[in-house]
Copies of this chain bind each other. A is one copy, B any other.
Amino acid sequence: MTSVFIVYLDKELQAKLRFIPDLRDNFLLPHYICPMQKPSNPKGTRDFGPAELRKRNHILNTIRSVFENFGFQPIETPAFENLSTLTGKYGEEGDKLLFRILNSGELVKSVKTEHIEKEDNIAFIQSISKKGLRYDLTVPFARYVVQHSNEVVFPFRRYQIQQVWRADRPGKGRFQEFTQCDADIIGSKSMVNEADLVLIYEAVFKKLGLSNAILKINHRKFLEALVQELNLNFEVTQFTSTLDKLDKIGEAALKEEFLKLGVTEHAIDQLFTIITEEKISLQFLDKVEQAFNHNPLAVQACTELREVVQFAQLENLDLDVRLDLSLARGLDYYTGCIFESVVPDSGIGSISGGGRYDDLTGVFGLKDVSGVGISFGIDRIYEVMANLNLFDDHAPSDTILLCHFDEESRNYQYGIAKTLRSKGMAAFIFPDTKKIAKQLDYANKRNVRFVLIAGGSEIESESVTVKDMISGSNTEVKIGNLSSYLIDQGAKVN
C-alpha cells in the first residue's frame, strides 16, 4: 500500500495543507502531514547534552576544587537583580546589553505610552521593567558584600560559579548565556593575595593539561608612570585604551595612532623600548625600574611585583609567567596588578583575566574595600581544550549495563544491579525485554564499557558474563567475585 507523506516549507503552507482534499477518504491513500517545525532553543543559547557536560563539568569541577584548595568559599546570587543595582555599572554599551524582565501581572498595565510617542525608549523600558538578568558576577558580588557586610568575614575569599546573560548579537563563539568562574579576595591589600592567585592559575592549568598556558602580568602604576615619563598630556584611560590595540593592529599602526594623538616620535620610540614582554624575575624587574628612570609610580609597581615573585617563587614555577608592560585590560577599573592568560596556538584569545581594584563596593555606599580577583571563561577554556584535543572524547561511560533474556534473567540481573550500586558502581538494567543485539547496540550508543549478560546457564552457575565492549572479551564471573573483578578491570567506584 502506498502512503503519501506531505512536507511543507513554512507555517503558511502548513496551514493551507489543511484544505487539500482528504487523501485517505477520497483515494484510500493514507497520508501524514509532517509535524510542525521542530522547536528550538533561542539563538545565542545552548543545550548541553551528556557528552558535552562531562567535559564542561570536568573544567568547572577542576577550577572549583582549586579554589577550595586555596580556602575560597562559595556564594550564589539570584539570576536577576533590581535594575537599580545593575544599570550604570557597565557603561552605556553594557546597559544596552542587559536583559530586562517585564513586570509581571497587573504591573504591566502601568506602562507609560507617552514615552513611546516621544521615542524615549529608556523611559519606556523603565516603566515596564524593574529587574534585569545578571550581566556579570562582580556587581552582584559587590551588592552582596554591602548588603551582608555584617556577616562577611574580611578578608573574604569568595568564589562564584554562575551563569551570566548579555543581549549581544549571537554569533560564532558569542553567546547570550555563558558561565563565569570568579575568585576574589577582598579586604586585604597584601601581595600574598596576588601570589595566591598566580598559584591558582598554575594549579588550574596544570590540572587541565594546559601546559602551554601563559600568564601575563602588568601593573596599573606602570601605565601611569608611562604617561608621566613620556610627558603625554592625556588621561591614563585614553592612553591605555589606545595601547590595548597593540595586539590587534600591530606596532606600526599603533605608532600612527599615537602620532595622531600628538605624541612625539621620540616619546613613541621610548614607549616601544619600554613596553617589552619577558619572563618575570627579580632581575627583570630591576631592569624595568631602570628603564622607567626610577619613576616613583614604577618603583611602587616593581616593589609590589617583587613581593609577588618572592611569595609565589615565580622563578621556579611550572607556569610561564611574563611581565607584559603593554597589558591594560579593563581600562580604569584596575588599580594594581593586572592578569591575563592565553594559550598560544589555540586559536582563542584570553581565557582568564583579573587584577586588583581599590573600590569594589563604593558605588553601593561602602568605601575602601580593596580586593583582587580573577575570572575564568569556561566557554573559551572549553574551546581551547577542544582545539588542542585535550578531551578524551572516547572515554567510556562509568555506567555498567545489565542485559537479560527473559523474565527470570531480568529478576536475576535486577538484584545484581542493586548489589553493584550499593558498592558504589553506577549500574542499571536494560528495562525492556528485547533481543540481546538490541541491548548491546544500546550499550554501544551510550558508550558503556562493561555489559553484564545473564541467561539460564549463568543463573544456574550463579555467575554473569562480563562483556568488555572495548576489548570485546567475554568472561564468566561468579557473583561473589563480581564487584572485585569489575574494579580490577577498571570500573569506577564512587
Contact = CB atoms under 8 A, between A and B. Distances in A.
Interface stretch (A97-105, A274-282, A381-389): A97-105
Nearest to A424: B69
A71 B426 contact: yes
B153 A446 contact: yes
A457 interface: no
A421 B188 CA distance: 21
A414 interface: yes
A289 interface: no
Interface string A55-74: 00100000001001111011
A146 B494 CA distance: 33
Given A38-B365, A196-B428, A116 B105 contact: no
A27 interface: no
Contacts of A41: 77-78, 81-82, 143, 147
Interface stretch (A107-115, A249-257, A344-352): A107-115
Interface in A88-147: 96-102, 104-105, 108-109, 111, 113, 116-117, 121, 124-125, 128-129, 131, 133, 143-144, 146-147
A472 interface: no
A157 interface: yes
Given A79-B165, A97-B104, A418-B199, A426 B69 contact: yes
Contacts of A38: 146-147, 364-365
A380 to B, nearest CB: 18
A420 B155 CA distance: 21
Given A41-B81, A148-B49, A96 B105 contact: yes
A35 interface: yes
Given A75-B48, A128-B128, A446-B153, A99 B100 contact: no
A196 B71 CA distance: 39
Contacts of A129: 102
A333 interface: no
A401 B124 CA distance: 52
A190 B432 contact: yes
A432 B155 contact: yes
Interface in A404-449: 410-411, 414, 418, 421, 424-433, 442, 445-446
A102 B125 contact: yes
A219 B299 CA distance: 77
Nearest to A85: B39
Interface of A: 35-36, 38-42, 45-50, 53, 57, 65, 68-71, 73-82, 84-85, 96-102, 104-105, 108-109, 111, 113, 116-117, 121, 124-125, 128-129, 131, 133, 143-144, 146-148, 151, 153, 155, 157-158, 163, 165, 167, 177, 185, 188-190, 192-193, 195-196, 199, 203, 310-311, 364-366, 398-401, 410-411, 414, 418, 421, 424-433, 442, 445-446, 494
